[in-house]
């Protein structure tokens, strides 16, 4: 798959070089958009979930290499309240990542994590694990990710915090049965080959009565499929909430910071790609949320209290 990716990237570069239009029309941004570089992982995923999963892993590995200053610890879309409820109080160093942190606050709110063994599946750059450890007083926090470079990054960055990070697959979790009280999963499951297999694995590693705190994006017409997968999994639905408007508001409020970071840290020839990934105004992702072609949903799910028990 790595060879396929680099062959495709080479073809993109050749297309840029051979473009015969006037220079003022032949900008890198226009060429990259024409080649749909920003949509490559998603296009591949539609052809083959297995290859799509591999392309996503390559993409996150590349992002890890770009962040030489170890500053990027979140990659989720974020969450912003739409009412007058005061936002959570954060430590000063966390203010720059407020909206990304607020997604974790939304997800964990109402569930007691103090003294719990917590696993985050798809832990990425470790910001979510760090938030849980510092704000919610769990007994232990483990992060699992498919990208080895992300795991290595976290192992270095959080070496003094007691957090544990392991390399592994969400659909074949390398843990014992009943090892965790809570599993967290944020913006990761849409890349899985089998959602049903993931849910089965989470049930296996959760203790009886444990919780899965889940948040992710789905096509608007895919919400029923997701709910059906959850219903068949044996989890009890404690809370189901559509938070697309909250995510869209967070994208708008956090846009200036993201654009500044991209301009400062990202090579010019892939800035368009990163603006798409960051879902800035005008991006395909932002428009999809705005027109509700994509929806963002969060769930609090509880595993059966006894083996073989089914939800009421």
What are 296-311's pLDDT values in tens digits? 999 999 999 876 566 5
The reported pTM is: 0.81
d(CA 53, CA 152): 20
Of 262 and 13, the structure prediction assigns the larger pLDDT to 262
Query: What CATH number is attached to the domain comprising 96?
Result: 3.40.50.150
* Tokens 């954060």 -> residue: 90
Taking CA atoms, 209 is separated from 229, 235, 261, in Å, by 19, 10, 42
Residues 275 and 159 in one domain: yes
Buried b (16+ CB within 10 A) or exposed e, 132-151: bbebbebebbbbbbbbebbb
Task: Give the pLDDT of residue 27.
Answer: 45
Backbone angles phi, psi at 182, to 5 degrees: -140, 135
- The residue from 48, 66, 84 where one domain ends is 66
Q: Are residues 12 and 100 in the same domain?
A: no
Which of 66, 88, 106 terminates a domain? The answer is 66
For residues 44 and 76, membership in a common domain is answered with no
Domain final position from 66, 83, 106: 66
Do 231 and 247 lie in a common domain?
Answer: yes
59 plus 105 within the same structural domain: no
Residues 60 and 78 reside in one and the same domain:
no
- On whether the CB atoms of residues 301 and 226 are closer than 8 A, the answer is no
The pLDDT of residue 15 is above 50: no
Q: Which of 2-11, 61-70, 74-83 has the lowest mean pLDDT?
A: 2-11
Same domain, 195 and 214: yes
For residues 90-101, average pLDDT: 96
Strand partners, 145: 167
Q: What percent of the chain has pLDDT above 90?
A: 60
Residue 169 pLDDT:
96
pLDDT in tens, 238-297: 999 999 999 999 999 999 988 998 888 788 877 887 888 788 998 988 999 999 999 999
- For 265-280, the pLDDT digits (tens) are 788 877 887 888 788 9
Which of the residue ranges 157-166, 190-199, 217-226 would you say has the lowest mean pLDDT?
Answer: 157-166
Query: Per-residue confidence at 13, pLDDT binned at 50, 70, 90?
Result: very low
Mean pLDDT of 42-66: 58
Based on the domain organization, do 3 and 148 belong to the same domain? no
Q: Which domain holds residue 15?
A: 1-66
Give the number of other Cβ atoms within 10 Å of residue 117's Cβ.
19
* Same domain, yes or no: 95 and 153: yes
* pLDDT recorded at residue 16: 45
Q: What is the pLDDT of residue 275?
A: 86
Tell me: do 202 and 232 sit in the same domain.
yes
C-alpha span between 235 and 300 (Å, rounded): 10
Say if residue 77 is in the same domain as residue 59: no
Please give the tally of structural domains in the chain: 2
* Residue 275 contacts residue 283 (beta carbons within 8 Å): yes
C-alpha–C-alpha distance, residues 218 and 53, integer Å: 16
Give yes or no: residues 155 and 168 share one domain. yes
Predicted confidence at residue 20, as pLDDT, reads: 47
Rounded average pLDDT over 96-105: 97
Check pLDDT > 70 for residue 24: no
Angle between helices 40-47 and 49-66 (to 10 degrees): 160
184 vs 177: CA distance, rounded Å: 17
């Amino acid at each position: 798959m790595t060879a396929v990716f680099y062959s495709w990237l080479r073809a993109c570069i050749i297309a840029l070089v051979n473009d015969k239009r006037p220079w003022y029309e032949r900008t890198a941004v226009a060429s990259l958009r024409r080649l749909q570089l920003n949509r490559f992982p998603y296009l591949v995923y539609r052809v083959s979930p297995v290859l799509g999963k591999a392309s996503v892993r390559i993409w996150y590995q590349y992002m890890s290499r770009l962040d030489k200053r170890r500053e990027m610890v979140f990659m989720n879309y974020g969450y912003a309240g739409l009412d007058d409820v005061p936002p959570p109080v954060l430590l000063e160093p966390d203010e720059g990542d407020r909206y990304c942190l607020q997604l974790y606050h939304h997800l964990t709110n109402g569930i007691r994590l103090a003294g719990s063994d917590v696993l985050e599946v798809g832990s990425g750059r470790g910001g979510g694990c760090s938030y849980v450890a510092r704000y919610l007083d769990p007994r232990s926090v483990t992060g699992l990710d498919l990208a080895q470079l992300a795991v290595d990054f976290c192992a270095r960055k959080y070496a003094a915090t007691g957090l544990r990070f392991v390399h592994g697959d969400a659909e074949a979790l390398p843990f014992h049965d009943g090892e965790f009280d809570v599993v967290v999963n944020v913006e990761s499951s849409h890349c899985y080959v089998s959602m049903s297999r993931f849910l089965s694995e989470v049930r296996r590693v959760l203790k009886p009565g444990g919780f899965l705190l889940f948040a992710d994006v789905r096509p608007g017409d895919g919400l029923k499929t997701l709910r059906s997968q959850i219903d068949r999994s044996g989890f009890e639905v404690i809370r189901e909430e559509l938070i697309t408007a909250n995510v869209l508001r967070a994208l708008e409020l956090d846009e200036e910071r993201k654009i500044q970071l991209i301009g400062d840290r990202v090579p010019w020839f892939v800035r368009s790609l990163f603006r798409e990934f960051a879902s800035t105004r005008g991006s395909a992702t932002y428009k999809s949320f705005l027109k509700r072609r994509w929806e963002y949903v969060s769930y609090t799910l509880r595993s059966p209290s006894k083996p073989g028990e089914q939800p009421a």
